[in-house]
Amino acid sequence: MLSHDRQEENEIFASNRAASRITLSVKAAAGVTRRARVHEQGALRLRFPGPPAPELEAVIVNTGGGMAGGDRFDLAMDVGPAAQLVATTAAAEKVYRTLGPDTAVGVKLAVAAGGALDWLPHETILFDRARLRRTIDVALAADARLLLAEAVVFGRSGMGEVVSEGLLFDRWRVRRNGRLIYAETVRLEGAVADKLKLAAVAKAGAAIATILLTPADDAAVAAVRALEGRFRGEVGLSVWNGMALVRLVAADGAALRHDLAAALAAIRGGALPRLWQN
């Protein structure tokens, strides 16, 4: 049984945790994608910097400046028939050290018939002893298009930071017409730095990323393969069952960002969200 002081401390800690949510739905009309519904709660905000266009750009802003243990962030985006949405973030997301509770992030994405969604947030930076538990669930119509990219950097190497211990739990599930077409779960826990040194994990790299494209476009796949020799880290590309998957690992966040931006630009035909060009 907890002491009165410890119980009071836990209650104070819980009351200061962030519970934030954003919900966005977009629709297409007269060749332009527009906002249909926007809901913001807590520290999360949505901004739309571009003019009306076939593809709407949405920027996710965390006004809290990062995430801490016990925080909960939920993001839901619904792309209507024939609508096109590219979602990014204003900056890299930081997940700070926790005294116990995990930081939880839940992402739910849906794309209707003829729609397209490019989910392109900046990298997530984990500090030493951070604990991040993230789930990404995607529901696609039969002919919907998805480009999904996520990057994780273990500490800011330029400042001499090393993530010695912590947790990264990252679960992805993608369904098309209700049928599961892609599933993966990454779990790094405990002595993270030691595990990253393993050749089968990151070969001593401190930054990783995954890009998923479905349906796989032959031109996009060829464009990524044409970049061989220009990457600063290691990049692998697989194509199967109408999907393309790109894995990236680099020594640090700067090298990973270079490679990730190059691969995404190749897939998108050169155009990246404005905030990726800074």
Per-residue pLDDT reduced to its tens digit, 117-172: 999 999 999 999 999 999 999 999 999 999 999 999 998 766 667 888 999 999 99
State pTM to two decimals. 0.92
Give per-residue pLDDT as tens, 56-70. 999 999 998 899 999
pLDDT band for 16, please (50, 70, 90 cuts): low
The token duo for 35 is: 């906002």
**SS3 per-residue string spanning 102-133:** CEEEEEEEEECCCCEEEECCCCEEECCCCEEE
| Bridge partners for 22 per DSSP | 40, 75
Would you tell me the crossing angle of helices 218-225 and 253-268 to the nearest 10 degrees?
Answer: 140
